[in-house]
Chain A
Amino acid sequence: MTLQIVLTVAAALVGVGLFGALSQQSIVMVMMGLELVVNGVLLGAGAAWYFLSPGTPDAQMLVVVALVVMAVEMVMGFAATIAIYRTRQVDMVDMATELHG
């Protein structure tokens, strides 16, 4: 029962994060949505370790990787934001349409 509750919380975090990442216009807010998704992954992996396989460290490693993914996402997101803001004064996803066909 407890495992399901924790995983439901993780699923809710992923859902809320997806909503944010898809609906927000500001690039920084999009990144906050993505962070929330990874936050759910963190929690799910932690629960998987405690309730499913505490004997092996694999689920713990997943938490570590999720943390690293967050750091990478943050760095690259801000770097890209600064780069397009510097060249085109754009900080909204709707205006960053270079790749639009």
Chain B
Amino acid sequence: MVEALVVLAAALGLGLVVAVADSVALGGAAAWSDPVREGLRHLSTQPRRTLRPDVLLLRAGVVAVPVLAVLAAAVVPLGGRVLAPSSAELVWFNAAEALLWAALWLVGWGPNAVYSLVGGYRFLAQGLAYELPLMFALITVGVGAGSLRVTDVVSAQQDLWFVVTMPVAFAVFVAGSAAFAFWGPFDPPASADAGGGLLSELSGADRLLVQLGRYVFLGVSAAMAAALFLGAGQGPWLPDIGWHAVKTLAVLAVLVAVGRRLPAIRPDRFVEVSWVVLVPLTLLQALVVSVLALAGVYR
């Protein structure tokens, strides 16, 4: 119970860090408190309603987004342990992402509004593009560690961080996480050219929950990237949890600094780039790692 609360607090805290960093990157240092003020404003404003919404599906989607982000946090190693240990933790993380995919389509479908649905479809199209490379990236990690357990993945990086031999998988994983949060260059599902897309008809607590879920998911993914590719808590002097925090924040800093400088990627173009370039690249990465694993590099 205590562990669950710690994980929940860590996930929410990470989400807040991402939101603040994102706000500062966009609006300068003075904008650091914007996320909190925005959140409070969402809670206090009058919710808008559309004509004949599918309230059940909308609420299911809206609630599922932050819940899934926190569920993904349940397999991030915290001090060498995970909250929900099983023999298929990497698949758990991937399943949470896939469910997020469906949940966000529901968020687009629920309000019965055009731009919202356009956003939902854009998210699906984008998801078709990055889901396969992202899976191959996770599989590569599993091959390197010889296990689907995140704790095994961390201990397999004792001598050599996975990012050294799996740079492509690392980049794809981080980019895929940004795409799952439809953030940065991957924000066409919620961009201004579709009138706000997925978020256009959300108001009040609904909007707060979806935004919260996005940022928590980004933060959790950064922590997961630090665990899968950067050796989690391994490092001198600092305690385990300290190093993991430092690495997570470093991933987040790079993500925000780079992600906010790239132009938006159109979903229709992204599909071809992803399938024709990224899928073969990640497959090649998996092949290289398989050969290295056979050669005993990760033992």
On whether A and B touch (CB less than 8 Å), the answer reads no
Residues on A close to B: CB < 8 A? none
B residues sitting closer than 8 Å to A (CB atoms) are none
